[in-house]
Structure 1
Amino acid sequence: MTKAQFNSEPERPDQKSSLTLKQRAIRGSLWTLSGHASSQLLRLVSNLILTRLLFPEAFGLMALVQTFIIGLEMFSDVGIRPSIIQNHRGKDPNFLNTAWTIQVMRGFLLWLGACLMAIPAANFFNQPMLVYLLPVVGIGSAIAGFNSTKLATVNRDLDLARLTILELGSQIIGIVVMVIASWLTRSVWGLVIGGLVGSFTTMILSHLALPGPRNSFHWDRECFQELHRFGRWVFISTLLTFLAGQGDRLLIARFLDVRFLGIYTVALSLSRVTAEVINMVGDRVLFPSYAEIIRERPDRLYLVLRQSRLLLILISWAGSLFFIVFGKTLIGILYDGRYAEAGWILQTLAIGALVARVGHTYDNVLLAKGHTMTISGLLATQTVIQLSAMILGNYWAGPHGVIIGIAATGWLMYPFIAICHARQSVWQPELDLPLIAVAIGIAALVMPH
């Protein structure tokens, strides 16, 4: 990008003008990775404390409540952040304030939805406490609706140092409150209270600690139409992402029991360490980078994509192979005997992740191109495959079959991912097919044992 091109855009003169995209991406990746590592360490410490304060049954209930928390947080975005990053008007005050107004309204609607779903959810899962928990948890979505759009604009510019520090600060405050509240109450209310405090801290800091103009209520019809065109499919994708990402816990809670759900959650939290690294780097760094490349130098997309995917796949496979070999030992060291079953669950999920990560490293390209409808189609397919595999697995082999069904989802999804990206001329068989062949060999060696 030349200086003249930069000055033609309605953006503030900042560090973006003096750093290349590659430099900003590298620096942003370093901040993202260091922040994620710190976040995971904090989460692990708090997880170890909480599992000692609560029995597996209570931990399972916490996981069920967390599923609703994640779902509500996902629904509170409705495409606002990716719209700001992807759209050419992402620095226009009218666009930002219209987006913020929509976000605030959506937050309150989600809180109302949480109140309305409390009784049906409690009856469906046979957990009476959800009647009280869900309305309180829903307050977090109303709070998140007031988050400043500066969270998205600093991400658009790959100015991730401030964003990482803000999120770590909010997480630390939330965890401290969560542990203290759990110690005092010895119940799931500790998680709820800590989550609300963390959400409130993020909201306040997003307005006070980040550069940029303040948000105010505003409505621009043209801006709304642009947000709606992009965001309607993002909303559907978000709903499907929730079902694909959290449906496993909902089915386990329904068909098995909260004790097994608690054990599964322990294994899942460890198995997703590298996946969360990939997702965060993709979300924070690669998505805005791909969007900028598509806007300015689309001929470079394939090469940049291959380089970034290879690095992310190697990181993911290192974690998966570690869990395949040492999963049971690690669970035995970190947790007491009540969580011993998490060992084989962790190993099985790690085998499934070998191919799943190959497919998921494509994720941000379609979003950067604005093909949100295709993303929704892939997520719908993944949801159907995962839930069907879990149901059939439970029918044939009980809990073991459920876990195998979850692990197999990534393998079964890859052909659909390959077809969609081949149509966009970004499928990379020269990288994917050899890796899948190796994954099949590893699975053949490990699964019989």
Structure 2
Amino acid sequence: MTSLKKKSLTGLVWDFVGKLGLQGVGFFVSIILARILLPEDFGLLAIITVFINLANVFLDFGFSTALVQRNIVTKEHYASVFFMNVIMGVFLGGLVFFTAPLVASFYEKEVLTNLIRVMSFSFVINSFGNVTRAHLRRIMNFKIISVANIISAFISGFIAVFMAYSGYGVWSLVVQILVSEILNNILIFVLSKFRFKLVFSLKAVKELWGFGSKIFLTGVLDTIFINLDSLIIGKILNPATLGYYYRSKSLENFSFRYTASTLSNILLPSLSTINNEPIVYKNTVLKLFKIISFVSFLACGVFLVGAHEIILLLFSDKWEPSVRIFQIIIFGAFAPQIFNLFYNILLSKGLSGLYLKINVFSKVLFFTNFIFLFYADLNSYLIGFICAQIIVFFTGLIVVSKKLNFKNELFYISIKNMVIYLVSIFIIFTLKQYVYLQILHIDLLISSITFLIVFLTFYFMFMKKDLILMVKEIKEVLNIKNG
């Protein structure tokens, strides 16, 4: 096994373990909080995070990604970005703090003023850790990141549950976020032992800005359109409906946080190192595309067929309105997961400008879809959003295929996966009409196992070579972990 492959697989294992631990702790805490708190509390949190996320894009300006992607990085680069992050952290924190009453007035929720003001301190907190995280990602040291994430999630989760039981409501959610960020940044700093002289170089900033500026613009577009739905739903509908939507989106994020996205997180540094080996690069991309596609479609199917049972078992009956929302969202969730691979390919090739163009095109589609929120209903908006995601997915597929001279290979693989996915779902939902015991945990077990059997059977029949590849790669990952 090559040194690059061994390092990448080691990074994969640690990233997977880290996400598994982080999401395991976070998800367990969220189950407890969802049973104690009201949907409206989560709706208020969603409104807060909209404005925090929008401002947060300007904290880094895409420099962290530029630090990871750039071939040669000096401590002068790290120090200069650190200075800019801290300055922007203080500025953004102050801006959000003083504009909080305007947000509260817009949503006619006075409680938002103090909630947003407390959350504004997150900008200063996170500004101290961005550079160190970028360095750890660059050297593919996901072990430290994983340990810091798990410890901070556990302690902050414990505090949040205690506050929720004590009747603090939405404040327990806000405190959870802040405590987690404080602990995470402290642990990253202590464990990494990465230090640099506090110097500032405008030249170093300019060298990173050429690449980082496009990432920044892409990040602005992404953040606006990712959060715009919550902003509109919270205003047009109500915080409770936004809470149901927020719960569904959170569950979708959990579904993929440590599946296909684990591979995507280590792709940029690993792909960048083989840029000058076109044959190796192309074969690596093809292998990753097959694996990520398989994992994405499989995960979507399992969560889709068991959506009703999952939500009621985990969060109780009061969250039942989230079921339909979650089913619609998860149906097309494979598209952005696989598109993350295309994103990393374009970045590793230094084609951030091309990725920006694709993002602008995608945002035009998504923006047009927001019309459904004003003139139709939430379900219509979600269906339109899925259609837009699939269109963007195929756009990225066509671009990458042309750049790497894949011809129609990626297209045919995608179509096969989609057909197997759709047929498997249809079979399971048809069977559920006749075999439904109304015992949640048993129904969930039956539907999930049946889907896996049907999906894997079709895969073995029509994509046997790809299935064997998956098994081989899993064995190699396990060997690396044991070694």
Q: TM-score, normalization: structure 1?
A: 0.87
Q: Which residue number corresponds to residue 82 of structure 1?
A: 65
Range with greater deviation from structure 2 (268-277 or 217-226): 268-277
CA contact (8 A) 1:355 1:439 kept: no
Aligned identity (percent) is 20
Q: 1:89 to 1:103 in 2, by over 3 A?
A: farther
- What is the one-letter code of the residue matched to 1:102? M
- What is the one-letter code of the residue matched to 1:328? H
Q: Which residue number corresponds to residue 378 of structure 1?
A: 358
CA contact (8 A) 2:75 2:197 kept: no
Q: 1:65 to 1:51 in 2, by over 3 A?
A: same
For residues 223-238 of structure 1, the aligned pairs below 5 Å read 223-238=204-219
SS in 2 for 1:89: coil
Q: 1:263 to 1:446 in 2, by over 3 A?
A: farther
How far did 1:342 drift?
1.4
Kindly provide the CA deviation profile for residues 307-340 of structure 1, in whole angstroms up to 9, marking residues without a partner as x. 1122122222122111221111111211222211
Q: 1:374 to 1:181 in 2, by over 3 A?
A: farther
What is the alpha-carbon root mean square deviation over aligned residues? 2.6
Q: Which residue number corresponds to residue 367 of structure 1?
A: 347
How far did 1:40 drift?
1.5
Unpaired runs of 5+ residues, structure 2, are 434-483
Q: Which residue number corresponds to residue 121 of structure 1?
A: 103
- What is the one-letter code of the residue matched to 2:206? Q
Q: Distance in 1 between matches of 2:150 and 2:217?
A: 29
Unpaired runs of 5+ residues, structure 1, are 1-17
Q: 1:400 to 1:366 in 2, by over 3 A?
A: same
1:63 lines up with 2:46 in the alignment: yes
Q: Distance in 1 between matches of 2:416 and 2:52?
A: 39
Q: Which residue number corresponds to residue 321 of structure 1?
A: 301
2:76 to 90, 94, 103: 94
1:406 lines up with 2:406 in the alignment: no
CA contact (8 A) 1:240 1:383 kept: yes
Q: Distance in 1 between matches of 2:85 and 2:230?
A: 28
For residues 189-228 of structure 1, the aligned pairs below 5 Å read 189-212=171-194, 214-228=195-209
Number of residue pairs matched by the alignment: 428
Q: Distance in 1 between matches of 2:79 and 2:340?
A: 33
Q: Distance in 2 between matches of 1:176 and 1:444?
A: 41
1:342 to 308, 322, 333: 322
SS in 1 for 2:332: helix
Q: Which residue number corresponds to residue 45 of structure 1?
A: 28
- What is the one-letter code of the residue matched to 2:216? F
2:403 to 424, 427, 436: 424
How far did 1:258 drift?
1.1
1:304 lines up with 2:275 in the alignment: no
Q: Distance in 1 between matches of 2:425 and 2:335?
A: 10
- What is the one-letter code of the residue matched to 2:31? L
Q: Distance in 1 between matches of 2:192 and 2:248?
A: 36
Q: Which residue number corresponds to residue 13 of structure 2?
A: 30
Q: Distance in 2 between matches of 1:426 and 1:244?
A: 32
Q: Distance in 2 between matches of 1:332 and 1:218?
A: 54
Q: Which residue number corresponds to residue 246 of structure 2?
A: 265
SS in 1 for 2:215: helix
Q: Distance in 2 between matches of 1:34 and 1:441?
A: 32
Q: 1:29 to 1:239 in 2, by over 3 A?
A: same
Kindly provide the CA deviation profile for residues 112-138 of structure 1, in whole angstroms up to 9, marking residues without a partner as x. 231244233223333322222222212
CA contact (8 A) 1:394 1:401 kept: no
How far did 1:363 drift?
1.9
The structure, 1 or 2, with the larger RCO (C-alpha pairs under 8 Å, 6+ apart) is: 2
Q: TM-score, normalization: structure 2?
A: 0.81
How far did 1:364 drift?
1.0
Q: Which residue number corresponds to residue 3 of structure 2?
A: 20
How far did 1:229 drift?
1.2
